[in-house]
Amino acid sequence: MKTDSTLSFILLLLTCTFVFSCNEGNIQNTENLTGMYEKMTVEPPVATKKPMELKEHGHARTDDYYWLKERENPDVIAYLNAENNYVDAIMTDLSEFQEELFEEMKGRIKEQDESVPYIDNGYWYYVRYNEDQEYPVHCRKKSDLEAPEKIILDVNELAKDYDFYRAAGLTVSPDNQILAYAEDTLSRRIYKIVFKNLKTGEMLADEIPNTDGSIVWANDNRTVFYGMKDKTLRVFKIMKHRLGTDAANDELVYHEKDATFNLDIGKTKSKKYLLMASSQTLSDEYRYLDADNPDGAWVVFQPRERNLEYSIDHAGGKWYVRTNMEAKNFRIMSAEEETTQKGNWEEVIPHRQDVYVHGIELFKNYMVLTERVNGIRNIRIKSWDATEDHYVDFGEDSFVAYVSSNREYHTDIVRIVYQSMTTPSTTYDYDMKGKALDLKKQQEVLGGFDSNNYESERIYATARDGAKVPVSIVYRKGFKKDGTQPLLLYAYGSYGASMDPSFRSTRLSLLDRGFAYAIAHIRGGQEMGRQWYEDGKLLNKKNTFTDYIDCGDFLVNEKYTSKDNLFAMGGSAGGLLMGAVVNMRPDLFKGVVAAVPFVDVVTTMLDETIPLTTFEWDEWGDPHKKEYYDYMLSYSPYDQVEAKGYPAMMVTTGLHDSQVQYWEPAKWVAKLRDQKTDGNPLLLHTNMEAGHGGASGRFRSLKETAMEFAFMLDLAGKVKVKG
């Protein structure tokens, strides 16, 4: 339940005194606050302390808020609702502005829209959005685009009875008759697989619960393979289902008993083989099966080895392998169909110290590689006969390009997507032989958007150890580099995930109000190659945090902004980043938005019952080992909260989050409230219907973005409601 009025919030506080009490001394210094925060009079909810002693390696920690893990406890729900009402009360004067931001962002979206069709197995597939509808309509046309449209799935109809709905894993049987898809109605990323007869429009009786949403058809049109999740949400089994049978009797294909590995299922580009991957951070093991023989025996491609990573695809009668074998930045190898182990691999694309190989797409005459060169993701075209080898030229220096849907093998056309911080997502068909880009569609941004009004830069900040950290920046032309204008610095910095200089229309609401938006490409990602990732994980993790701080100091010193105008944002593992940097340098930031933040690092990584723990020990370290325990404890945001001043902060989470459990940010905020000595606002908003990705639907999610932007714009003194 949410209420909009301050009175309702106060009544809720009075009825929940068994959970929390008012902290009369919490509001202290407000001379640096702006907007609504100058007159904060409503006291925040304060969670009850119920000390829990946690011991490891002879070291004891006291967790006063451990009890907030009790999801079914009415006191926990009451506390989360009270925090939501506190947000409503504090931001009540911004409600009109939030609605304006929402309508502004929604107004940039072309409501009646359609994706670029792609061809697969004789049908053209595309997604259509209708005016005033939240969800996609999946369609296809047979043979050519002039054929009548056939709606295969209207997600709006499926979602109408749910607060949250997501359809995923849509895949059509090889004979084009049956659609399999997975649905999540809780936002816990636990999917039920269902089947639809595309000829009659009827749903089949088959239903498969508790899956990861992955679905792969064998070539017999009646057998599907899927992943099953355990209680920690790890995909630990691959199962086989035959249409018309009870899912309770489905056959176990493979059980991954090593809790540090996760399973996945797929199919090769040639459609000849089914693939099963068992992977962890540092190693992979693939099995393959003839797709024409779903009851056959799976064959191990290359047995798992510590520190051997690889992925595979098949086309043209050969296997192709992307691997880090003697190649930190990865290389491409090939293997004959029956001799797949690494001793038989032959090099196709060699390892290079300055180029990171992301992946490959296979065609009859060409191999298309996605490579990161100088931190920028490029598309490289290489012919099998070695007569052609070139990069696609987009005419910009800072951009992101990637390979899109390419289901056909016998073609010289590759579908690619390009964008930059000033250029909306643009879909091209590229003629690999003629080297010609054919523009198929550019994302239409309504509301008077003109890319010529904006400017982007790529600069380099020097980290304290001398590393050069790229920073991508975009702003509206006329932005003054005199330290007077606000800047939002975003980063992630974990799992080797690279944050590319992409386009987001929502950012325009900040840029048009004087903000600059910057992405710090800090270590922990792979922007500058595999070593960039290695230097930001395990016992090097603090490089991620100091890189971000050094980027912030650089932007201040270079007059892009000032400490009074610098804002920070990160989500999930990027929320860990936010928690670490506000402990280390709270003076550097005016305001911080931490979305679904992973902040209770030590306690979570010690708990093997929590989703995603065991197979992330190679990312963060296993705290059962003292060396990692001590190091993680030294930066874990929850454990490092101190009695000192912190910047204004908005923290968001979802009750059903499967990636970062809601109690991590809830505990963190509770401890911050108890310890911090400043009078800056600290807000916790919990989406009680959603999980890690927030609200479903293309418009509803904008409500949360509008709330976060309103928070920052108000702190920056940029709130002006249009008359």
> 697 falls in which pLDDT band (50, 70, 90)?
low
Final residue of a structural domain among 373, 407, 442? 442
Q: How many angstroms separate the CA atoms of 127 and 136, rounded?
A: 6
pLDDT value for 219: 97
Going by the DSSP 8-state scheme, the letter that residue 572 receives in this structure is T
Q: Provide mean pLDDT across the span 621-650.
A: 97
Q: Which residues are catalytically annotated?
A: 572, 657, 692
DSSP 219-238: TTSSEEEEEEE-TTS-EEEE
Spatial CA neighbour of 98 closest among 700, 710, 683, 510: 710
Contacts of 124 (CB under 8 A, 6+ apart): 117, 118, 140, 141, 142, 143, 144, 145, 147
The answer to whether residue 16 is domain-embedded is yes
Could you tell me what percent of the chain has a pLDDT over 90? Answer: 82
How confident is the model over 285-321, as pLDDT tens digits? 999 999 999 999 999 999 999 999 999 999 999 999 9
pLDDT value for 395: 79
Q: Are residues 417 and 292 in the same domain?
A: yes
Angle (CA) 526-214-324 rounded to 5° is: 30
Q: Are residues 434 and 521 in the same domain?
A: no
Which of 70-79, 221-230, 613-622 is predicted least confidently?
A: 613-622
Q: Provide mean pLDDT across the span 123-151.
A: 94
pLDDT of 33 strictly over 60: no
Structural domain span for residue 333? 179-187+209-442
Spatial CA neighbour of 680 closest among 6, 42, 26: 26
Spatial CA neighbour of 225 closest among 215, 213, 235: 215
pLDDT of 8 strictly over 70: no
Q: Are residues 425 and 470 in the same domain?
A: no
Q: Are residues 608 and 683 in the same domain?
A: yes
Final residue of a structural domain among 413, 442, 471? 442
The answer to whether residue 85 is domain-embedded is yes
The answer to whether residue 473 is domain-embedded is yes
Spatial CA neighbour of 684 closest among 239, 68, 160, 24: 68
Q: Are residues 486 and 615 in the same domain?
A: yes
- 38 in helix, strand or coil? helix
Q: Are residues 358 and 265 in the same domain?
A: yes
Q: Are residues 282 and 364 in the same domain?
A: yes
Contacts of 93 (CB under 8 A, 6+ apart): 35, 36
How confident is the model over 480-509, as pLDDT tens digits? 999 999 999 999 999 999 999 999 999 999
| CA 146, chain centre distance (Å) | 37
Q: Are residues 265 and 226 in the same domain?
A: yes
Classify the phi-psi angles of 292: left when phi > 0, otherwise alpha if psi is within -120 to 50, otherwise beta: alpha
Q: How many angstroms separate the CA atoms of 59 and 687, rounded?
A: 35
The answer to whether residue 683 is domain-embedded is yes
pLDDT value for 611: 62
The answer to whether residue 700 is domain-embedded is yes
Distances from the Cα of 262 to the Cα of 252, 329, 522, 669, angstroms: 16, 23, 27, 32
Whether 12 and 85 have beta carbons less than 8 Å apart is answered as: yes
Which of 70-74, 195-199, 380-384 is predicted least confidently?
A: 70-74
Q: Count CA within 13 A, CB hemisphere, residue 614.
A: 18
Tokens of 446: 């309504």
Q: Are residues 409 and 501 in the same domain?
A: no
Burial code (b: 16+ CB inside 10 Å, e: under 16) for 120-141 equals beebbbbbbbeeebbbbbbbbb
Final residue of a structural domain among 411, 442, 473? 442
Instruction: State the total domains in the chain.
Output: 2
- Tally of residues, the chain: 723
Pairing of strands 166-172, 346-349: unpaired
> 7 falls in which pLDDT band (50, 70, 90)?
very low
DSSP 104-160: HHHHTB-SSEEPPPEEETTEEEEEEE-TT-SS-EEEEEESSTTSPPEEEEEHHHHHT
The answer to whether residue 155 is domain-embedded is no
What CATH number did the domain enclosing 469 receive? 3.40.50.1820
The answer to whether residue 72 is domain-embedded is yes
pLDDT value for 187: 73
Classify the phi-psi angles of 442: left when phi > 0, otherwise alpha if psi is within -120 to 50, otherwise beta: beta
What CATH number did the domain enclosing 361 receive? 2.130.10.120
pLDDT value for 694: 53
| Chain mean pLDDT for the chain | 91
Greater model confidence, 690 or 111: 111
Q: Provide mean pLDDT across the span 89-104.
A: 95
Distances from the Cα of 253 to the Cα of 191, 226, 240, 276, angstroms: 19, 10, 6, 10
Tokens of 6: 């301050």
Q: Are residues 503 and 432 in the same domain?
A: no
Which of 15-24, 391-400, 418-427, 579-588 is predicted least confidently?
A: 15-24
Question: Among all chains, which residue has been given the structure tokens 């065609």?
Answer: 363
Q: Are residues 239 and 280 in the same domain?
A: yes
pLDDT of 156 strictly over 70: yes
Q: Are residues 507 and 628 in the same domain?
A: yes
> 608 falls in which pLDDT band (50, 70, 90)?
confident
How confident is the model over 165-215, as pLDDT tens digits? 899 999 999 999 999 999 998 877 789 999 999 999 999 999 999 999 999
pLDDT of 96 strictly over 60: yes
Q: How many angstroms separate the CA atoms of 550 and 301, rounded?
A: 44
The answer to whether residue 20 is domain-embedded is yes
Q: How many angstroms separate the CA atoms of 715 and 699, rounded?
A: 25
Q: Count CA within 13 A, CB hemisphere, residue 160.
A: 5
